[in-house]
Chain A
């Protein structure tokens, strides 16, 4: 069967037409992935979901402060795009960054501790929810000025080409950031310099409370924007982790061959508000309910069981282990010390 991935024609052919072995959530007959790979993708999506639920609970408890943007609903996009990456590849993302951090394998305890603002956090409590970093894992940040992360990723990809590392840089950005001038500027320069950068547009339909169609002229699709730069683009169902992974694998393979930047638009959705404080007055519950029917954290494990890839017990055991991991992360964060006041002046200058 065909996946939901489709390609637009660019300078030299098609980007991401999936193979016959591809399977989408619950409808295909086989996949190109091993059972371990398929279960690992589920584990990561479920871990992200439970981590985010725990974040919300601890925000309500007052233990997490500031702005909290949850990735609930978008898990398949983060997991599917990070699965094909190597240790040498950079990841740059936006402020809704917990999901990418977890999919990249950042320490869950230290991630939660960062949200709690504790000394044991990834950034020693100086970054917070919107600014998760782990340079050792080439996770180069959540960034909180909309679109501001695009040129950072461009520069990292430039360094990979300059140093001939064969690595690639994946940059996540939302539909809102496409209205910044940097969107055009970065697309243009990435194409001029032919850097190994994968633009991953997470189109969840809303820039904060502004629906795409209220603030964007022309087509609601974004992948068609980039042909004029000579950048090939694919559009993929961001709720379908296998389709996302396949599209990314093909793109990454081409990036490593030095073909220049590529672009994936993942159509996805967040079931929750922009931030924890968002009452979602700007949209109705019908839309959320409709998307929830395709919730990857629900639909995907049902598919694995239905197709005899995993047993329900295996799924349940995996969930139980993740639940414990999240409880432990919250415990670790809550029991971690606050930063010392004299650390205030550390880490300003190298």
Chain B
């Protein structure tokens, strides 16, 4: 068991795929000569050569679309967006083409393509570089959407993603690239659709994913100091969602809070909260509480950005208001 950085875990998963399958290749903006905006692919060009590590022009729609075609043609492309905000330029290709191809061809065509993208706010990049569009893509049938919160999950999920025969959006919280965590030497995978109980508890179920887990970890500590035992669950996978784990926990705790680090309005948790109200109402002592970023574009200023970004104090205030704990 070794401690490695979040970005190193992703890099290890990518390197394994490149080592094991000659039909795996990786492309994106400045991933080769430059080494990647977040240094995930640093050294790959030298190691694997320009046939398999491809620097693209700044043409997200075209190179993502080319990834779809390459996947349909029998390859396993890994396509990197420099930011998930930039994936908007390629959304037509992701949604209309990658996700729909299989269905509209009656199952004739598969798109085994991994899309990777840094996501999330918190590093003062302003409105156009701080968004979290995994919350939109999680809605789209025909593709998968996952987001790790630890180096262990990053490696486990990316291994699964690289075996998946459908398009996958693998969202990488930009705040977590330098996070350290233990990763076993022996091989393991983290399956899609399996939430992880990061911390067991009895009094309240706290749910988030990605960078939101740091907020929940702090909140759980603060709750423990108040004598409240929180069960902290990392969704890990936004499509599919592991409802079984959520429902089992809520049946035990009778209280639930969902946190998005992206805008609360319309976030990934809105759909889940609605489902939980339908499916867990008999166990709930109050409404499923939702915490998320304010309904504004992301500001640049540090103080303003932190005002918008959800904090552990927001979690505690929400629980106090709706459950009196």
Contact = CB atoms under 8 A, between A and B. Distances in A.
Interface of A: 90, 92, 121-127, 131, 133-136, 140-141, 143, 145, 148, 150-160, 162-163, 181-182, 185-186, 188-189, 192, 346-350
Given A148-B92, A152-B65, A189 B57 contact: yes
A74 to B, nearest CB: 23
A192 B25 CA distance: 17
Contact of A159 (B65, B70, B92): B70
B109 A133 contact: yes
A350 B68 contact: no
Nearest to A135: B108
B102 A162 contact: no
Q: Which interface residue of A135, A148, A151, A162 has the most chain B CB atoms within 10 A? A: A151
Contact of B25 (A134, A141, A156, A162): A162
Given A152-B65, A152-B69, A143 B56 contact: no
Contact of A133 (B65, B77, B93, B104): B104
Contacts of B68: 151-152, 155
A185 B106 contact: no
Contacts of B25: 162
A141 B70 contact: no
Given A162-B51, A185-B59, A189-B56, A155 B66 contact: yes
Nearest to B90: A151
Across chains A and B, which 7 residue pairs bring their CB atoms closest together, nearest first?
A: A155-B69, A151-B65, A159-B73, A123-B106, A185-B62, A347-B107, A350-B165
B160 to A, nearest CB: 14
Given A134-B108, A136-B108, A160-B73, 11 more contacts: A124-B107, A126-B104, A145-B96, A150-B62, A151-B64, A158-B70, A158-B75, A159-B75, A162-B25, A189-B57, A189-B66
A350 B92 contact: no
Contact of B105 (A90, A141, A154, A157): A141
B62 A346 contact: no
B220 interface: no
B105 A349 contact: no
B109 A135 contact: yes
A157 B57 CA distance: 18
Contact of B63 (A124, A125, A181, A189): A189
Size band of the B side of the interface?
Answer: 35 or more
B205 interface: no
Contacts of B166: 349-350
Interface string B62-101: 1111111111111101000000000000001100110001
A182 B62 contact: yes
Contacts of A145: 92, 96-97
A209 B141 CA distance: 33
Given A162-B51, A188-B59, A156 B69 contact: yes
A348 B99 CA distance: 8
Contacts of B63: 151, 189
A148 B104 CA distance: 15
Contacts of B23: 162-163
A122 B57 CA distance: 36
A124 B102 CA distance: 12
B102 A347 contact: yes
B142 A348 contact: yes
Nearest to A123: B106
A131 B104 contact: yes
B110 interface: yes
B96 A148 contact: yes
B106 A122 contact: yes
Contacts of A92: 69
A127 B73 contact: no
Contact of B106 (A121, A157, A182, A349): A121
Contacts of B107: 124, 346-347
Contacts of B69: 92, 140, 151-159
Contacts of B110: 350
B61 interface: yes
Contact of A347 (B77, B106, B165): B106
Contact of A163 (B75, B96, B108): B75
A163 B66 contact: no
Contacts of A186: 62, 65
B57 A192 contact: yes
B59 A348 contact: no
A150 B141 contact: no
Nearest to A162: B75
A182 B65 contact: yes
Question: Quick one: which of B59, B67, B105 has the most chain A CB within 10 A?
Answer: B105
Nearest to A189: B62
Nearest to B112: A350
B65 A349 contact: no
A272 B128 CA distance: 45
Nearest to A131: B104
